[in-house]
């Protein structure tokens, strides 16, 4: 039987790496799009090349979401059955520093792919997945967000992803493209980028434990996030494209924790006994064993405006996709710690 072909934009990212492995195990041929960088940045997918059973079906090609011609060329060359758009300037805080670039990649980049599908007359041949985010809910007052919750984005990143969401809906309705939006809540893993808060906390506390760092500096300790495991979430992306009809789905765990709660759990598992002292920007976590300060707050890690509370209601995905998360926050933290201990940075 002919193998299905997937084209993944953002293959070098956390989700790109998990999705590649997932699809290769399902017997797909996977083409991954990487950008040119001055230093090799394929660490997350290098082990696929080392896997004799996977490497012959995994091909990396250069491309960029800011370059329409590269997108059309890649689609013509690879003739995909499914396109996964995971590429983005994905850091919320950084999007305040580079708002125009974030919009170019995240919003117009999505439009460029959809428009290439349409202009190449491949509407009936290609299924499209768009990596949407709970950041689109932003400052919503709803306490359990689902597909019907109104968007109220609170960063250039969130706003850029709202454009991507609606242009995906628009091309689905206007041109009958099989296009789905996943509205994914935060998902993490041992290969999460080092500047996202979960990886930063675990990496920082282990460095402190090993004597390689003195303190960990964080921003807002009181925002709440619904954290799942990336490995569960890429399965949901694939499931969306296997349905009879294209649609949009919220993917989350339905549980939410503050950054402080995440840090407390991680610290305990790493072997610290901590207590919190002070208030606001002066709040600190102290190691009870020696009275040393382990965690401090720093103004530079706060955002101009914060998304205070996210909790995802994935009932629709549960019912239609038969999807539910397999990993708890504790499994996730354990796995992240184990990886960091084996691969100290």
In the structure, how many helices (H) and strands (E) does the chain have?
Answer: 12, 15
The answer to whether residue 90 forms part of the interface with ligand NAP (CB under 6 A) is yes
Phi, psi of 91, deg, nearest 5: -95, 120
In 3D space, the residue among 227, 248, 226 whose CA is nearest the CA of residue 237 turns out to be 248
Residue located via tokens 């504790």: 330
The answer to whether residue 301 forms part of the interface with ligand G4F (CB under 6 A) is yes
Check if the beta carbon of residue 113 is closer than 8 Å to that of residue 167: no
Check if the beta carbon of residue 209 is closer than 8 Å to that of residue 250: no
List the interface residues with ligand G4F, window 241-260 (CB under 6 A).
259
The answer to whether residue 41 forms part of the interface with ligand NAP (CB under 6 A) is yes
**CB proximity list for 214: less than 8 A, separation 6 or greater:** 208
Residue 157 annotated as catalytic: yes
Residue 135 annotated as catalytic: yes
In 3D space, the residue among 93, 88, 81 whose CA is nearest the CA of residue 130 turns out to be 88
User: Among 84, 110, 129, 135, which one carries the catalytic annotation?
Assistant: 135
The answer to whether residue 133 forms part of the interface with ligand NAP (CB under 6 A) is yes
- By rule CB under 6 A, what string of x and - marks binding of each residue 127-146 to ligand G4F? ------xxx-----------
The answer to whether residue 185 forms part of the interface with ligand G4F (CB under 6 A) is yes
Q: Which does 218 bind (CB under 5 to 8 A by kind): ligand G4F, ligand NAP, none?
A: ligand G4F
The answer to whether residue 208 forms part of the interface with ligand G4F (CB under 6 A) is no
Q: Which does 114 bind (CB under 5 to 8 A by kind): ligand NAP, ligand G4F, none?
A: none
Among 15, 57, 232, 248, binds ligand NAP (CB under 6 A): 15
Please give the Cα distance from 211 to 307 (Å, whole number).
Answer: 34
Could you tell me which stretch among 54-62, 80-88, 281-289, 309-317 binds ligand NAP (CB under 6 A)?
80-88
Show the tokens assigned to 25. 């195990």
Length of the chain equals 345
The answer to whether residue 113 forms part of the interface with ligand G4F (CB under 6 A) is no
The answer to whether residue 74 forms part of the interface with ligand NAP (CB under 6 A) is no
Q: Would you name the residues annotated as active-site residues?
A: 133, 135, 157
């Amino acid at each position: 039987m002919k193998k299905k072909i997937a084209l993944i934009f953002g293959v070098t990212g956390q989700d790109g790496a998990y999705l590649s492995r997932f699809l290769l195990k399902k017997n797909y041929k996977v083409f991954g799009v990487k950008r040119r960088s001055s230093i090799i940045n394929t660490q997350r997918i290098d082990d696929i090349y080392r896997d004799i059973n996977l490497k012959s079906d995994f091909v990396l090609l250069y491309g960029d979401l800011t370059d329409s011609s590269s997108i059309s060329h890649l689609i013509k060359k690879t003739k995909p059955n499914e396109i996964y758009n995971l590429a983005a300037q994905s850091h919320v805080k950084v999007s305040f520093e580079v708002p125009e670039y974030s919009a170019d990649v995240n919003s117009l980049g999505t439009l460029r792919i959809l428009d290439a599908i349409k202009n190449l007359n491949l509407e009936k041949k290609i299924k499209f997945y768009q990596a949407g985010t709970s950041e689109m809910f932003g400052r919503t007052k709803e306490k359990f967000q689902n597909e019907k919750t109104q968007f109220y984005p609170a960063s250039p990143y969130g706003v850029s992803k709202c454009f991507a969401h609606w242009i995906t809906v628009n091309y689905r309705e206007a041109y009958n493209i099989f296009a789905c939006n996943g509205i994914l809540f935060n998902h993490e893993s041992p290969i999460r980028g080092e500047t996202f808060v979960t990886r930063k906390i675990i990496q920082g506390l282990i460095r402190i434990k090993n004597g390689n760092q003195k303190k960990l500096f964080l921003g807002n300790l009181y925002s709440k996030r619904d954290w799942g495991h990336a490995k569960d979430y890429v399965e949901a992306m694939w499931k969306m494209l296997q349905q009879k009809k294209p649609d949009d789905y919220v993917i989350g765990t339905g549980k939410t924790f503050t950054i402080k709660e995440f840090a407390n759990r991680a610290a305990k598992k790493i072997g610290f006994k901590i207590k919190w002292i002070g208030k606001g920007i002066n709040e600190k976590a102290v190691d009870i064993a020696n009275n040393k300060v382990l965690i401090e707050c720093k103004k530079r890690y706060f955002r101009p405006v914060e998304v205070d509370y996210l909790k995802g209601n994935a009932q629709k995905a549960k019912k239609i996709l038969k999807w539910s998360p397999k990993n708890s926050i504790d499994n996730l933290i354990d796995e992240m710690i184990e990886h960091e201990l084996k691969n100290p940075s």
